Amino acid sequence: MPGLMERYRGRLPFDDDDPVVSLGEGTTPLVHAPHISQLVDADVWLKLEGLNPTGSFKDRGMTCAVSAAVREGAKAVICASTGNTAASAAAYAARAGMTCAVIVPEGKIAQGKLAQALMHGARVIALRGNFDQALTLVRALADDHPIALVNSVNRFRLEGQKTGAFEIMESLDELDALAIPVGNAGNITAYWKGFGELGVAPRLFGFQAEGAAPLVLGKKVDQPETVASAIRIGNPARWEEAMEAMTASRGDIRAVTDDEILAAYRLLAGREGVFCEPASASSVAGLLRYGAGGARRIACVLTGHGLKDPGTALDQAGGVIACEPCLSAVEEAVLGGGD
C-alpha cells in the first residue's frame, strides 16, 4: 500500500510534484471487538493505530509535517514529546536526511519510544520538567531558528491525521460515535476535520486520565500525573478546537482513572488479543465506564502499540513460571498443580 499522502493527495495541501517523505503509514486495521461490544451493548471496532510504521498514529501527521518541512527547505525538525511524537519525528527525519531534536520530560517516557528516538539518531534532550514546559520552550526556539516545529500545533500534522477518519468511513457505512484518548488534543481535532470533509458527524467521546484532565476540569493542570504517559499533559495546545469539536458533535469529554485505564488495557490484550499502550486503552476504559450513550456503532482509536511500554506491561501481567528441564516438572508447569 502506498503511504497516505499518495492515497489522499487530492484532499491534502500538497501538489503532485511536492516531495513526499513516507514510510508507508496509514491503512491500519479496523477490527471488530466482540467482547467489548457485548459489554457496552453496541458494535465496537478498534482502529489499530499501533500498526503504523513507528507504532503510533503520530506517523499520519509526521509524513505530512516532515514533507512540508522539506518543501520549505528546513534542514532540521524539533518537537516536544511524551514519547511517540519523538519516535515518529526521529524516524521521518532520518528518512529525509534531516537532523532532529526532541525534548522529552526526564524519566517520564516509555522505554520503547526512547529506544526508537535514539536509534533513529535524534538528539534526545531530557528536560527536568513536564511536557507542557517542553512545548513552550520548543515553540520559542522554533521562532528564533530555521527549524521546523513538528508538534500538532503544526497544521500539517492535523492534515495527515484526519485521514484516520477517512479510513474508518471507508470500512463502515455508518458511525454513531468515535471514542478517542485526548492529550494535547490534536488528534481529536484532526478526526473532526476529517469527518467534516466527508460530511459525516459522529459524536466524539474524548477521554482524559483523571490526573491529567484539564479539558474536563476546565482549567490547566500544573502537575499532570497518570500511568498513561502519552496523555500526561496539563495544558493542551488544541484546547479550543477540541472543545468546539466536542460541542458541535454533541459529544463529551470525560475522565477515567488509572485503574480503569489499566483494566481496559488488560482486557484488550487478554480478551480481544489487541495489545495497545495504556493511553490508548483510555478510549475503551471510557466506554466501559460511561456506556455507549445510545450509540450503536462505535470506533475506538487505539493510538499506540503495547510494545512501546514494556515496563507497564510487565508490571500488569502475571509472572513467568520457572521450571527444571525434566518432563514431570514441565508437565506440572504446563498443566498446573492439582489436575
230 is a contact residue toward ligand PLP (CB under 6 A): yes
Burial-class residue 97 by CB neighbours within 10 Å (0-12, 13-18, 19+): exposed
Minimum Å gap between C-beta 150 and ligand PLP is: 12
Interacting positions 250-279 with ligand PLP (CB under 6 A): 277, 279
**Which of 104, 280, 285, 300 touches ligand PLP (CB under 6 A)?**
280
And the C-alpha cell for 194?
Answer: 476529517
Q: Which is nearer to ligand PLP, 282 or 334 (CB)?
A: 282
Burial-class residue 327 by CB neighbours within 10 Å (0-12, 13-18, 19+): exposed
54 is a contact residue toward ligand PLP (CB under 6 A): no
Q: Which is nearer to ligand PLP, 181 or 194 (CB)?
A: 181
Q: Smallest Cα–Cα separation from 294: which of 169, 168, 177?
A: 177
* Residue at shortest CB range from ligand PLP: 304
Minimum Å gap between C-beta 304 and ligand PLP is: 3
303 is a contact residue toward ligand PLP (CB under 6 A): yes
Minimum Å gap between C-beta 303 and ligand PLP is: 3
d(CA 241, CA 229): 22
185 is a contact residue toward ligand PLP (CB under 6 A): yes
283 is a contact residue toward ligand PLP (CB under 6 A): no
Minimum Å gap between C-beta 55 and ligand PLP is: 9
Burial 179-217 (b: 16+ CB within 10 A, else e): bbbbbbbbbbbbbbbbbeeeeeebbbbbbbbbbbbbbbe
Q: Cα 306 to the chain's mean position, in Å? A: 11
And the C-alpha cell for 246?
Answer: 466536542
Q: How many residues contact ligand PLP, by CB under 6 A? A: 18
**Residues contacting residue 321 through CB under 8 Å, at least 6 positions apart:** 333
| Dihedral angle over CA of 324, 329, 335, 336, nearest 10 | -80
Minimum Å gap between C-beta 87 and ligand PLP is: 9
**Which of 182, 215, 261, 262 touches ligand PLP (CB under 6 A)?**
182
- Which spans of this chain sit near ligand PLP (rule: CB under 6 A)? 56, 58, 84, 152, 181-187, 230-231, 277, 279-280, 303-304
